[in-house]
Amino acid sequence: MNKKNVLVFPAGTEISNEIFNALKHNKYFKVVFASSIKTSHAEFLNQEVYKLPYADNESFTEIMQAFISEHNIDFIIPAHDDVAYELSLITEQLEAKVIGQDRHTNKVVRFKDVTYKYFKDIIPLADVYKNQEEVCFPVFVKPKKGQGALNSLCLETEHEFNGYFNKHDIATYVLMEHLTGAEFTIDCFSDNGEVLYSGPRTREKTTRGISVLSRLIEDKSLLEEFYQYASIISKKMGLHGIWFFQMKYDKHGKLKLLEVGPRVSGTMMLNRAKGINFIELALFQAMGNTVEVYVNDVSLSLSRALLPRYKHNIFYETLYIDFDDTLYLDEKYINTDIMKLIFQAKNNNNEVILITKNKKGNLESTLKEFGLTTVFHEIIHIKDDDKKYKYMKKNSLLIDDSFQERKEAIQHGLYAYSLDNMQLLFED
């Protein structure tokens, strides 16, 4: 079966990471990355990243179409607001299908002032001030065209206001009521205006506009309220596929619309954890298939932190694994990180050898208990006063909790790591 090629552009954003994670093991689709900047996080995912100009470049359409032809791209998924907007303007000129909302929707939702005018008297909105004379402090100001909360802030006094807009063009900003209550993102999927799924979640902590602490809403009345707003937005704009919107409580406890997003959201993974793969659904929908949404009835919350990804020159042909306190922890359970590394090595046709000084006499019974008797190419059981490096082949790697064993291996030109460096060695 030939996989469909899906271009994710630009690579390296949190949005592109979510797209990749949703598709990386998918049997129907292959992810292709492109970026406009020199270095991208996608390179640290062991993915090739192609270079494309910025989406507002005057030659972008021509270069993008040439790229589509050269790499047999079937679909493009925008991973940034500007790219979603620019692609919506040229979609008819591209041979690949753009996964996103139409030109009209993008023209409305890319600009906050246009969004608020469009939904006036349809969805509850924060008060928007026409000029400085109307402003009630504190006031929240944000760029009409912006993303990730960049240059959005609360100004408490007229003095702060004047100081800020001495350095910024007030004509490019929306001046609005400062909403002080809880904030929510509602991840949605629609089919020709009909909402097939709406999943509201909290935004309890954000970094660069991305929710890094979030939980799914379970209150039935609140779920229904969000669904009603989702239906109004979706039908009004004729939304099709992936989208989201954000709302926040004002000081009186009334929900008000912040924005509508015509793309994948940065923390859509929380709703994906219920079993809804928005990206896959959108791709199948774009192929003309009838799609359905079924999710697991589970309670979920999420905390996100920076996860390191490494590029390195470590090369090994044989992997040696210690047993006590490395593979087998606390005399109770198998280290699943080590098992991941073992099968990664086996997938790469590396030899995997268990090397141990086990003195407790539980080696054979433990391997049998956990079904590991045939996992290793060889098991080397040595005496307590022996040296593991003596049994190691060239171009090999040792994983061992013992500093002395690691030290001796490194001294003899081998690689050796403890359990704290598994993330370095993982390929995905």
Q: What pLDDT is attached to residue 209?
A: 84
Collapsed DSSP state (helix, strand, coil) of residue 61: helix
Nearest residue to 249 (alpha-carbon basis) of 301, 300, 199, 203: 203
Residue the block writes with tokens 């704290």:
420
For domain 318-425, give the CATH superfamily.
Answer: HAD superfamily/HAD-like (3.40.50.1000)
Mention every residue, 6+ apart, whose C-beta is less than 8 A from residue 207: none
CB count within 10 Å of CB 378 equals 12
pLDDT digits (tens, 9 = 90+) for 205-231: 998 888 999 999 999 999 999 999 999
Q: Do domains 4-99 and 109-113+180-303 have the same CATH topology?
A: no
> Token digits for 342?
């073992």
Taking the C-alpha atoms of residue 240 and residue 259, their distance in angstroms, rounded to an integer, is 17
> What is the third-level CATH fold of 109-113+180-303?
D-amino Acid Aminotransferase; Chain A, domain 1 (3.30.470)
Predicted TM-score (pTM) of the model is 0.91
Q: What pLDDT is attached to residue 255?
A: 98
> Token digits for 9?
């552009």
E strand or H helix at 397: strand 396-399
Taking the C-alpha atoms of residue 73 and residue 298, their distance in angstroms, rounded to an integer, is 36
Class of the CATH domain delimited by 4-99: alpha beta
Reported in sequence order, the residue ranges of 240-324 that DSSP labels E, i.e. its strands, are: 241-249, 255-261, 301-303, 318-321
Yes or no: say if 274 and 295 are a contact pair by the CB < 8 Å rule: yes
Q: What pLDDT is attached to residue 146?
A: 83
**What is the residue extent of each domain of the chain?**
4-99, 109-113+180-303, 127-177, 318-425
Residues of the chain with pLDDT under 70: 1
pLDDT digits (tens, 9 = 90+) for 225-253: 999 999 999 999 999 999 999 999 999 99
Taking the C-alpha atoms of residue 409 and residue 288, their distance in angstroms, rounded to an integer, is 57
Backbone angles phi, psi at 229, to 5 degrees: -65, -40
pLDDT digits (tens, 9 = 90+) for 25-73: 999 999 999 999 987 888 888 789 999 999 999 999 999 999 999 999 9
> Token digits for 169?
């063009």
